[in-house]
Structure formats: structure tokens, C-alpha cells
Amino acid sequence: MSLQAIRLPIILAVLVIGAAALLIIQSHLHQTDQVALQSELEDLTNQKEALQQESERLSLLVAERENRLAQQGHQQNDMTEVVSELRDRLQDLNDEYRALLQTFEANQQRLNNANERLQELMNADRERDQHATQLAILTAQVNELEVENTGLRSTLTDYRNLAQNAHITLQTERTQRQQLELALQQEQQALTHLQSQLEGLGSEQDSLIEQLADGSTVIKLPERILFEPGSATLNSQAQSVLAEIATAIESFPQYTIAVQGHSDSIPVVASARLFPSNWELSSARASAAVRILVDLGIEPTRLKATGFADTRPLVEEVDDASRRENRRIEVVLEPPLEVRELDAPLSPTGS
């Protein structure tokens, strides 16, 4: 609808309103005071003028709107072209978007695949790190075990050497023990033979040979077998008795021979003036026996003579018989240490 078509009805409306107003005025002139009517007429005239001004203003506004509509028509044509171009551009952008979207989806898929591969590699790296850590731990343990094994091999070698040495030592000790046992058997035989030789010398024969707990052997020779009372001179049978003892001693090559003199508690006869006391008498008797043994071939370095007087009696002295039993020479065969260590020394008398 054009502005001219809009403007004509408005003008007609204004004229109709003015005519109606005049009719109303004329109608009221007859009914009201002319002055009042005149006043109203003036008012209506003023209103008419105002309406005319408004009509002119509206006409100008309509003309302005028509111009603007004409301009907008041209602009609408331009906008239609722009919209068409924009639609074409939008279509191109949509096509580009779809292409980019496909590329994005493809890249996203590749990224997902890469992430999965990366995760697998990371897991593999973690496993590799764990394996490396375990390998390092195992390597350290292996190194420790190798060091320990080296020490154990060295210790084993030492123990093997010790075992070999112990075996050699054991064999040596067994050999030595066998030799000692053989020597003890020989000693036993010698003592048994000596015992048999001394059996006919007197009533004391049952106690002439005794073996002690430390392995020592004591040969007890009563005074009457070797000496006269109060004398340190050997009698006629002393030589043969000491010869038997020397023969027995040859079976004890490693033993020390201690010859001990013992007396009773009765002091020696002072008038003889040979021995001031029993000490000198017992020592002289022991020395006399030692000299004979040396003459019979016993090594002097193995012999020693000692006098004990009456300090070590065998029995309590109550009569001549008990005093006679205390007057004696003892030949003590003292064994070396290895013989002392044997558990069960042999005893010729079973005592």
C-alpha cells in the first residue's frame, strides 16, 4: 500500500470531522448562547488549525516514510543479493565444515589409535621399568650370591683342606695310637715278664708292679731284695734284679725313669756315721740303683734319683712287718703326654 493511498483517507477523515464539527456548532448555536457558540467556534477553529497542522505533519511523515520505503526497497534488493551470496557462502562453508568434520573424525580416530598405542607403549615402558627394576634387584641379588658363593667356596676350600688335614691328622693319630697300643702291649708283655721274674723274690710279689691312673708304672722293690738293713750297698742279687728291670725299661723308650728311695720312721744308727738321717740313706739307695741302670745301658738323661725318707709310707707303721713294707726302692716309669692321654692303660696285675 502506497503512502498516497494512506494520506487520502486521513485528509477525508479530517474534512469529515470538520464538517461534523460545523454541523454540531450550528446545531448548538440555536440552543446555546451565541457567545458560547462563538467561543466554541473559536475553539473548533483552533482545533481545525491544529488538525490541519497535524495533517500536514502526517503528510510530511508519510512522504518521508515513502522515501524511506523506496530506499529500503533498493536496500532490500541489495540485501537479497547479499543474502543470496551469503547463502552460497554458507553452503560452501557447510561443505567445508562437513569436509573438515570428516577430516576431524578421521584425525580423531587416528588420535584415538595413537593414544591407544601410546598407552600400550606406556604400559610396555612401565612393564619394562618394572622388569628393569626387578632385573636390577635380581642382578644385585645375583652379585651378592656370587660374593657369598665366592666366600662359601673359599670357606668350603678351607673346610676341605681342614677336613683333609683332619683326616691326615686322624690317620696319623690312629697310626700313633696303634703304635702306642702296640708299645703298650710290648710294655705289658715286658711288665708281665718282669712280674714273673720277681714272683720268687718274696711274699710281697703280689704288689711289686702297679699302674697308676696317669699311665705311670711303679715297680716296688723291697729293701731286702737290694740292700742290707741300714746300708746303701747293693747285695748279691741286686744286679740280676736291676738287669731284669733294665730289660723291661727297654720296652719303654720314651719314658722317664724316676728311682725313688723310701725308709721307715726309725732313725738310722748314728754310731755308723755313714748317713746322718733317713734322707741321706734313701737318696743314696736311689742313686746306687741309678748307677747300676746306667751301667746296664739305660740313657742317663732319662734317669733321676730322689730320696723321700719316711715321708711317703705305704702303710701305717705298727710293727716290724709294717716298717719293713715301707722300706723300699720304687722305679717309676713316667710316660710322655701322648701315652697319658690314652683312655685305658693296660694293667699287668689287674689292679
Residues 6+ apart with CB under 8 A from 204: 220, 222, 325
- Give residue 275's identity as a one-letter amino acid code: F
Q: What average pLDDT score do residues 299-306 get? A: 96
Mean pLDDT of all residues belonging to the chain: 82
pLDDT value of residue 281: 95
pLDDT value of residue 347: 47
User: Which helix (DSSP H) or strand (DSSP E) does residue 218 occupy?
Assistant: strand 217-222
Question: Would you say the C-alpha torsion 86, 92, 98, 104 has a positive or negative sign?
Answer: negative
Max mean pLDDT among 44-58, 121-135, 315-329 falls in 315-329
Rounded Cα distance between 177 and 315, Å, is 37
Residues 6+ apart with CB under 8 A from 227: 233, 234, 235, 238, 285
List the single range of 58-72, 126-140, 176-190 with lowest mean pLDDT: 176-190
Residue that wins the pLDDT comparison between 330 and 2: 330
Rounded Cα distance between 174 and 238, Å, is 40
- In a 3-state reduction of DSSP, which class is residue 283? helix
32 pLDDT more than 60: yes
List the chain domain ranges.
1-150, 202-340
Whole-model pTM: value is: 0.49
Cβ neighbours of 310 (radius 10 Å): 19
Confidence band for 207, pLDDT divided at 50, 70 and 90: low
- Give residue 132's identity as a one-letter amino acid code: A
Rounded Cα distance between 309 and 262, Å, is 5
Phi, psi of 237 (to 5 degrees): -90, -5
Q: What is the CA radius of gyration of the chain?
A: 79
- In a 3-state reduction of DSSP, which class is residue 308? coil
Q: What average pLDDT score do residues 61-75 get? A: 81
Percent of the chain at pLDDT exceeding 70:
87
Residues 6+ apart with CB under 8 A from 348: 188, 191, 192, 195, 209, 211
Q: Measuring CA to CA, which residue among 206, 198, 214, 312 is closest to residue 265?
A: 312
Q: What average pLDDT score do residues 152-167 get? A: 82
pLDDT value of residue 173: 76
The matching CATH number, chosen from 3.40.50.300, 3.40.50.2000, 3.30.1330.60, 3.10.20.90, for 202-340 is: 3.30.1330.60
